[in-house]
Amino acid sequence: AQRVTQPEKLLSVFKGAPVELKCNYSYSGSPELFWYVQYSRQRLQLLLRHISRESIKGFTADLNKGETSFHLKKPFAQEEDSAMYYCALRGWKGAQKLVFGQGTRLTINP
C-alpha cells in the first residue's frame, strides 16, 4: 500500500530560523516523491521532485530510502514561506496517481 505520513499538522518557526517539515512514506518499491505548496487554499504548486534534486525558493529535500523519508528543509525561513505543504508519492504501477500526506501548515513568525 502507498502511504505518506506528515507527522506535524502545524509548525511554527521564527523568521530566519531553520525549517524542517517531516515526511515519511510507505511503498513496496522505488517511489517518486514530491513536495507541493498551497498558499491560502489556492491551487497546489509543485515545489520539489526528488528526481530533479533541485532547490526551489531555498528549499531542499533528500530522499532517504533507508529511513523512507523525504523531509523538506530550508536553512532560513522567510515570512512568505507561510503556507500549507504537502508531501506526495507516486508509484510506478497502475494509475500513477499522487498519494498525499495530510499536510503541514507552516507559519513563519516575524
Site of interaction with other proteins (CB under 8 A): 32, 36, 41-46, 49, 51, 86, 90, 94-95, 97-103
Nearer to other proteins, 6 or 71 (CB): 6
Name which of 70 and 103 has its Cβ closer to other proteins.
103
Q: Give me the least distance between CB of 93 and other proteins, in Å please.
A: 11
CA angle 11, 64, 104 (to 5 degrees): 20
Q: How far is the CB of 16 from other proteins (least distance, A)?
A: 30
CB of 22 to other proteins, least distance (A): 16
